[in-house]
Amino acid sequence: MATQIAVGKDVDSWCTRCNLILAHTVEAMVGSRITRVHCNTCGGQHAYRSSAPGRRPAGASGAVKRGGAGHKAGPRQSPAEEYAALLKGRDPTAARPYATSARFALGELLAHPVFGVGIVRASKDNNKIDVLFAAGQRTLLHGR
C-alpha cells in the first residue's frame, strides 16, 4: 500500500539550514506536488527539495523535459533580476513603512529599515509574509 502524501504528513527533504536530508512536515502542496515544508529538527521553513543540491532525485533520468504547462522559456532569473522586473514601473517612494503590527497585501511595496524596499510575494500562517528585496527573499511578521 502506497503512503499518501498530504499537508501535515512527514516526508524526507533536504534541509537548507541543517544541510542534511531529514524528516520534514509538509506545509503546502500544489496539486500532488509538495511545495513547502518545515524541518522537524531545526524548525526551518523552506521549499521542498527531494535531494541534496547538485544531485538528481532518485529515479530522475538524464533527459531534460522542455515545454509543457508551466514551463518558462529561458534561463531562470536571479533574485536581483526578478526584483528589478517586479519593481519596474512602480514608485518605490510610495512603499509603506514596515511594522510588525501592519498588515500587507500580496504585491504591495513595503519599506524595511534594514533590507530596503521590498515586494510582498506570499502570505503564510496568517501572520507571516515572504518579501522579495534586492538582496533576496525574506520572511517577515505582519499583523501582530
For the chain, domains (ranges, CATH) are 1-55 (2.30.30), 79-141 (no CATH)
Strand 33-39 and strand 45-47: pairing?
A: antiparallel
Q: Which residue has the higher pLDDT, 52 or 108?
A: 108
Query: How does the average pLDDT of the chain come out, rounded?
Result: 82
Q: How confident is the model at residue 75 (pLDDT cuts 50, 70, 90)?
A: low
Q: At residue 54, does pLDDT exceed 80?
A: no
pLDDT at 97: 95
Residue for grid cell 533527459: 63
Contact 117, 101 (CB under 8 A): no
What mean pLDDT comes out for the span 2-9? 77
Contact 66, 39 (CB under 8 A): no
CA distances from 56 to 28, 40, 50, 52 (A): 22, 23, 9, 8
What mean pLDDT comes out for the span 34-47? 89
Contact 133, 112 (CB under 8 A): yes
